[in-house]
Amino acid sequence: MAHSLCSKNAALTGLCERHLAELARQEALDEAVILEALDAGTMALLGNPAHPGLRPLLVGQPSRVKVNANLGTSPLSSCMETERRKIAAAARAGADTIMDLSIAGDLDAIRREMLAAWQLPLGTVPMYAVGQRLLDAGEDIASMRPDDLFAEIEKQARQGVDFVTVHCGLSRRGAELAVSGGRQMGIVSRGGSMLARWMLENDRENPLLEEFDRLLDISLGHNLVLSLGDGLRPGAGADAGDAAQWEEVINLGVLARRALERGVQCMIEGPGHVPLNEVRAQIQGIKRLTHGAPLYVLGPLCCDSAPGYDHIAGAIGGALGVEAGVDFLCYLTPAEHLTLPDAEDVAAGVMASRVAAQVGEVALGRPGALAREAAMNAARKALDWDGMERAALDPDQLAKRREPHKGEEVCAMCGKFCAVKMLRETRAAAK
């Protein structure tokens, strides 16, 4: 395939040859548009050929905005059966990808089972596996050997992981700024905190930054997409846009260019807690500094005081973020900041992010989003409940709420006061 990025990345070439036509059909885009965006680094094709039964996915403009669901175990709750239920809930709710953020149990076994159960792209944070081995052995994270981190990334690539969060832009200078720069919440990223501790305790630079070319070598053999992590993302609205955050973003832009030159695909991870009036400036600034690379955003959470409802706060920020240029939404659930999400939380989080994506894409005038709106409006005008169900983002929820009165033509709120039916009968009588 005559394409400069593919010419440097044999694994990506193979994926394009097998899947490009179907991806173009799914996204309603010309194949040439997709290839041009891949070449420019503004779109990424998530897919590791080693992933069993892989169904690759495009992320980045002008493809549809995608939604990720974070799953995984914790030291206080580790049960593979629970994770299976969460995977099923994510699938039913329409998640496009999942990330395994497990930090307890047999992580290799959990990862293999998730890869087998989920054919769409799966992401991980390899730093977690390295940290788990150290902490479970009673050792300090500062004792980590960089070779062990690179070995873990390579192992997960061989297992079939499609994308990895790697905090390559977190420099020692950035860590010092976050720790001593007056932040209210310091560093809230788990992976970022681990690396910051390692750097500050050992008086050394981040090995993922110093040996970035080594990471590119690993990625090339598997089309392992690098999700360049936001280890210094703001954990409170008051910390948004500080020197530590932007120092990391600048580094990410430089690294994304280096990766693209080698044929490695990257995404950029974006901010967490950002007041609503700053969301647009944050998104546009990050996109500019990272050359339009696909932007993968947690939230943004536009208020800090809604525990139990963070999926709503995140959806508000996410909708505005999509309109401003976000490509990929990482969900938040009602469990955020409180506990490990269960299957019900997963479903609620996915749907909140899907609503945010629809809201943002309607504002952008995206054809697919507008077509869904038009289909719903036509069905509502006709009191066509089957049509409404087909157009709904969550048809199961529509059917569930409709069930007690599904024999009625009108909804249970209005009954014979139905405005649509009243005027329809008036028009019929006039004819």
Question: Contact, 148 vs 130, CB < 8 A?
Answer: yes
CA 392 centroid distance within chain: 22
353-299-283-33 Cα dihedral, nearest 10 degrees? -30
pLDDT in tens, 135-169: 999 999 999 999 999 999 999 999 999 999 999 99
Task: Single out the residue of 328, 322, 343 nearest to residue 123, CA to CA.
Answer: 328
Please give the Cα distance from 228 to 296 (Å, whole number). Answer: 9
Single-letter amino acid code for the residue at 408: E
3 confidence band (pLDDT: 50, 70, 90): low
Confidence of residue 2 (pLDDT cuts 50, 70, 90): very low
3-state class (DSSP) for residue 74: strand
Q: What pLDDT score was predicted for residue 216? A: 98
CA distances to 42, 45, 150, 206, 247 from 289, rounded to whole Å, are: 13, 21, 27, 21, 11
Q: How confident is the model at residue 6 (pLDDT cuts 50, 70, 90)?
A: confident
Shortest CA distance to 45 belongs to which of 74, 69, 13?
A: 13
Average pLDDT, the chain: 95
Confidence of residue 430 (pLDDT cuts 50, 70, 90): low
> How confident is the model at residue 1, as a pLDDT?
44
CATH ID of 46-365, from 1.10.1040.10, 3.20.20.540, 3.30.70.380, 3.30.230.10: 3.20.20.540
Helix/strand/coil (H, E, C) string of 100-151? ECCCCCCHHHHHHHHHHHCCCCEEECHHHHHHHHHHHCCCCHHHCCHHHHHH
Q: 3-state DSSP helix/strand/coil percent for the chain, to nearest 5?
A: 55, 10, 35
90-122 pLDDT, tens digit per residue, is: 999 999 999 999 999 999 999 999 999 999 999
Backbone angles phi, psi at 206, to 5 degrees: -60, 120
Q: pLDDT over 70 for what percent of the chain?
A: 98
Neighbours of 284 (CB within 10 A): 12
Contact 301/352 with Cβ under 8 angstroms? no
Rounded to an integer, the average pLDDT of 365-369 is 96
Residue type, 310: D
Write down the pLDDT at residue 75: 87
The number of beta carbons lying within 10 Å of the beta carbon of residue 365 is 8
Distance, CA of 197 to CA of 286 (rounded, Å): 26
Structure confidence at residue 5 (pLDDT): 86
Per-domain residue ranges of the chain: 46-365, 368-430
Question: Between β-strands 122-124 and 97-100, what pairing exists: parallel, antiparallel or unpaired?
Answer: parallel
The pTM score is 0.95
Average pLDDT over every residue of 254-275:
97
Burial grade of 400 (CB within 10 A; 0-12, 13-18, 19 or more): exposed
